[in-house]
């Protein structure tokens, strides 16, 4: 028993040391153990050391229920929202398999309009967009077949903001794999009314979700399929700007604003890098953007190696051959919002996704 106690002490000391290194020297040590950088460092190091162990599951959000979206409290849907119009500008490419869920989700959290710049060469989303419009949704599809490079996304965002700025009070620049999770507000208007009442721009941090060990595509909604994310909130942000204060995009993640307005996060501050795309503060207690970057193994391969992103071959190749992250922390907040606000999705809880 003495030997066993000593072994337990040594193992505990070793793991404690690894945790310290991961938190304070993660960029220097992750390569030593075959780990992935950033939020997966601890799990990756342990897996690399002990022979390919699966990434650690830290189910810190198992019982999390977003406020004011409980499906049995129907009266919440009748509470009036602030008189504010918040739109989305997005550029998409070959997103047919999951675009309906993304549209349903964003209208369900209070966006009043969605403007989609279709980057496919054949304007693939024209008929789909027309059907959405005829169904009463405030959605427009604009064909944008610009050749893919590192300016394509910025050009689409700039064009969208200037074209539709008089039809919206605020504009959010997000992608079709990003879902806004509100933790203290019923909808996007309430968030802005509290955190950006005087204009300027508000940044919201990413939470990146991994493959959740899914190997191939299935027809289950994205927010249901992928419920494991990185342990730590990501440093990268996306922006929401008051339309009249918008000048142009500084990057695909940040904006320039006029009238001496501020750019801030939900704390009222922010520790940004030179182009505003990173916020070292990483606040996540009010709102985050769930970023489903990787999806399943085969979807990630197709996106990076075959189809390539709107950034073009010069950027997409960086992910080609890199295995998708799996995710370490269970987080089903976005799925709970979707199934509560859009009841037709609840059927997907009735069977297990084995993809």
Confidence class of residue 329 from pLDDT cuts 50, 70 and 90? very high
- What average pLDDT does this structure show over 262-286? 97
Sign of the dihedral defined by the CA atoms of residues 48, 297, 308, 127, in that order:
negative
Per-residue model confidence as pLDDT tens digits over 115-155: 999 998 888 899 999 999 999 999 999 999 988 788 899 99
CATH architecture of residue range(s) 74-350: Alpha-Beta Complex (3.90)
- What average pLDDT does this structure show over 192-197? 95
- Mapping DSSP to helix (H, G, I), strand (E, B) and coil, where does residue 248 land? strand
Q: Which residue from 58, 322, 296, 44 is spatially nearest to 177, judged by alpha carbons?
A: 296
Of residues 57 and 353, more confidence is placed in: 353
Instruction: For residues 30 and 269, give the distance between their C-alpha atoms in angstroms, rounded to a whole number.
Output: 30
Q: Is the pLDDT of residue 211 over 80?
A: yes
Q: CB of 179 within 8 A of CB of 105?
A: yes
Confidence class of residue 353 from pLDDT cuts 50, 70 and 90? confident
Least confident of 73-77, 102-106, 162-166, 335-339: 73-77
What confidence score (pLDDT) does residue 50 get? 33
Instruction: For residues 35 and 46, give the distance between their C-alpha atoms in angstroms, rounded to a whole number.
Output: 8
Per-residue model confidence as pLDDT tens digits over 55-89: 333 333 444 444 444 433 344 444 455 679 999 99
Q: CB of 348 within 8 A of CB of 226?
A: no
Per-residue model confidence as pLDDT tens digits over 179-192: 999 999 999 999 99
pTM of the predicted model, to two decimals? 0.78
Phi-psi category of residue 308: left, alpha or beta, with phi > 0 → left and psi -120 to 50 → alpha: left
Q: Is the pLDDT of residue 301 over 50?
A: yes
Share of the chain above pLDDT 70, in %: 73
Q: Is the pLDDT of residue 166 over 70?
A: yes
Residues of CATH 3.90.550 domain(s) within the chain? Answer: 74-350
Per-residue model confidence as pLDDT tens digits over 3-61: 555 555 555 565 555 555 444 444 343 333 333 333 333 333 333 333 333 333 333 34
- What average pLDDT does this structure show over 269-295? 96
Q: CB of 124 within 8 A of CB of 246?
A: no
Q: CB of 247 within 8 A of CB of 158?
A: no
Q: Is the pLDDT of residue 163 over 60?
A: yes
What confidence score (pLDDT) does residue 156 get? 96
Per-residue model confidence as pLDDT tens digits over 87-110: 999 999 878 889 999 999 999 999
Q: Is the pLDDT of residue 292 over 70?
A: yes
Confidence class of residue 348 from pLDDT cuts 50, 70 and 90? very high
What confidence score (pLDDT) does residue 28 get? 40
């Amino acid at each position: 028993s003495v030997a066993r106690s000593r072994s337990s002490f040594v193992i505990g000391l070793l793991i404690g040391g690894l945790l310290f290194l991961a938190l304070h020297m993660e960029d220097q040590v992750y390569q030593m153990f075959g780990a992935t950088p950033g939020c997966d460092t601890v799990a990756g190091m342990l897996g690399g050391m002990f022979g390919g162990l699966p990434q650690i599951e830290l189910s810190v959000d198992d019982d999390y229920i977003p406020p004011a979206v409980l499906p049995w409290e129907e009266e919440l849907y009748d509470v009036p929202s602030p008189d504010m119009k918040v739109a989305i500008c997005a550029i998409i490419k070959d997103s047919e398999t999951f675009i309906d869920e993304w549209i349903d989700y964003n209208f369900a959290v209070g966006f009043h309009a969605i403007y989609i710049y279709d980057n496919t060469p054949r304007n693939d989303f024209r008929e789909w967009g027309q059907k959405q419009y005829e169904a009463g949704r405030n959605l427009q599809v604009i064909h944008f077949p610009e050749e893919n490079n590192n300016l394509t996304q910025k050009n689409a965002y700039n064009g969208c903001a200037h074209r539709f700025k008089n039809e919206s009070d605020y504009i959010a620049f997000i992608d079709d794999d990003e879902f806004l999770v509100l933790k203290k507000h019923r909808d996007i208007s309430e968030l802005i009314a509290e955190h950006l009442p005087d204009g300027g721009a508000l940044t919201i941090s990413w939470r990146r979700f991994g493959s959740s060990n899914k190997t191939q595509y299935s027809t289950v909604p994205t927010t249901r399929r992928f419920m494991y994310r990185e342990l730590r909130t990501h440093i990268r942000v996306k922006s929401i700007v008051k339309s009249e204060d918008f000048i142009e995009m500084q990057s695909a993640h940040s904006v320039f604003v006029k009238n001496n307005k501020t750019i801030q996060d939900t704390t009222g501050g922010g520790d940004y890098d030179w182009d505003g795309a990173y916020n070292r503060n990483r606040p996540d207690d009010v709102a985050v953007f769930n970023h489903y970057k990787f999806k399943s193994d085969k979807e990630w391969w197709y996106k990076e190696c075959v189809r390539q992103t709107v950034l073009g071959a010069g950027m997409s190749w960086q992910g080609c051959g890199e295995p998708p992250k799996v995710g370490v922390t269970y987080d089903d907040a976005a799925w709970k919002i979707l199934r509560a606000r859009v009841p037709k999705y609840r059927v997907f809880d009735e069977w297990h996704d084995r993809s």
